Structure 1
Amino acid sequence: MKTLAIAFGLALLSAAGSAGAADLYQPEPAPQPEPIVQPVAASGWYLRGDVGYAFGHSRGGYYFPDGNYKEFDHTKLDDSWFGGAGIGYQVTKHFRVDFTGDYGSGADFKGHSECGDSSCYSNDTSSAHMLSLLANAYVDLGTYYGITPYVGAGIGGTHIDFGKFTSSTHCGGSACGGAYDLSFDYDGKSDWRFTYALMAGASVDLTCNLKFDTSYRYRHVSGGGMSENIVASDAYANPYGRSYDKGIDLHDVRAGLRYTFGGCAQPAPVYATYEQPSEPVYK
């Protein structure tokens, strides 16, 4: 009987110890997640400024010397410098748009025609100032070692302002009925013309929000009037002073800077999600 009582007491002590150990057990705390750093993009708005050189090409034209349209035998539009500025927005990492304005210095125009043989010819001269306003869209092709190549296209209008138009005619033989030299001045014509552009270039990161941009741009300016009726009044004055061109092609080489607003990109912590471990179940 005494032995049975001792065994029963030991069993009670063992059960009490197990219950106490269960009450004292605390689950280990969940591990603290480490932040995953992701970049925060700067504002998409940017300003740009450019300078460039335009290689001009005239597609030809017509003049109106005696009541009938005649085509120039040769036309030439000289090269010129231009400068421009614009504002744009980086829509996505690979797509952006901007609105630009470029003003070109006077590009000299010359039209040459022969009246019958080389002893009779006329030269028409003027100077054209051009303001192009274009809405542009670009596709950035990825950034490689800080360099981002891109292609783009634009559409808009160009205001062409032709200065005084001078027409000089020289005849030195029987082809024009005798030797003479005549010169007439006409009003230059100003108007807006439809323009489209195609671009390809690359930008280089100078700082986190400043880029150096260089590109080639092709601009086509549709045809229009170059001069109107005669200005000078003399014994040989006539009302046939109108002339037209078939269009102008401009091959631009330009370079400039793009400044993005909003400061530089900053890292922002993004915490991973961890599942809380389930509580232990005791039976």
Structure 2
Amino acid sequence: MADGREVLVLRLDTLRSREPYVATLKKWLQGLELHGRLVTRGSLELLVVHGSTNGVDTLLKRYETDPIQLNPKNEMARDTFYDILGRKPLSGEVKFQGFLEMQMLNDALVQKLVVDDWEADVAWIDEAKKTERSKRFLVWKEARKQQLKRERQAAAQERDAKKAQAREAKRLEQSKLKEEQDNDGDDKEETINATANEEADKIVSDSHQNIDEKNAGHKSKQQKQKKRNDKKPRKNEPHGVKKSDTSSKKHKAKKSSNAAKRKRQDTLSGPNSHHKKNAKRLRKQD
């Protein structure tokens, strides 16, 4: 290794804050007496560094500890998404001086400058071309995806647990309310039954009382009517004549009339002719 010189190639991820990133990187390289080229080919960002071994080691440590770019909160933060494609000793002196940003128009130019002139391995470049983003970013993205998935699952479990608790609390409340309603219903039913029984007893009592009153009134009317009948004189009955005497006289008169009729019939049925004349006369009289 000539004078301890090395070539280092980093694959940088998308630079969201390019100006502060490049400004900080240039300051680091100048302080460490390193030379660099920031090569852009499409979405591929390559940092090629030539310099001393100690300078390269210090640069890698700064990438691990010092802020170099702006985060979404507009605060300076470390770059955690870079990949170290490789480092190896240079075969001679450094091939370029200072720092420069370069836009490559095709892969052939990348091959000529980065691989042929600046002594980077072609395998490093081919490895970087396999993915659109750096490997560290893809690893972080997958880890973040799994973390979000676990957080969503935990949130869903917590939400389901709260829903289950709410349902159980509601069920207990409804059960308690139903029990209270059932108790109130039983008490109300007992009250209704007691009231109904009282009303039924009252109706029966009133009915019996009405019947008794009607019977008493009817009996009283009969007694009054009997008294009036006893005091009232009967038709065709002289005053002072009792009912039993009148009936006896009527019976005797009827009996006498029936006897006279039988006598006349016997006379008509006799053999003497004068009896026939008498019979005709009697019939006319009748």
Task: Give TM-score scaled by structure 1 length.
Answer: 0.19
Q: Structure 1 or 2: larger strand share? A: 1
Q: Structure 1 or 2: larger helix share? A: 2
* More relative contact order, 1 or 2 (CA 8 Å, 6+ apart): 1
Task: Give TM-score scaled by structure 2 length.
Answer: 0.19
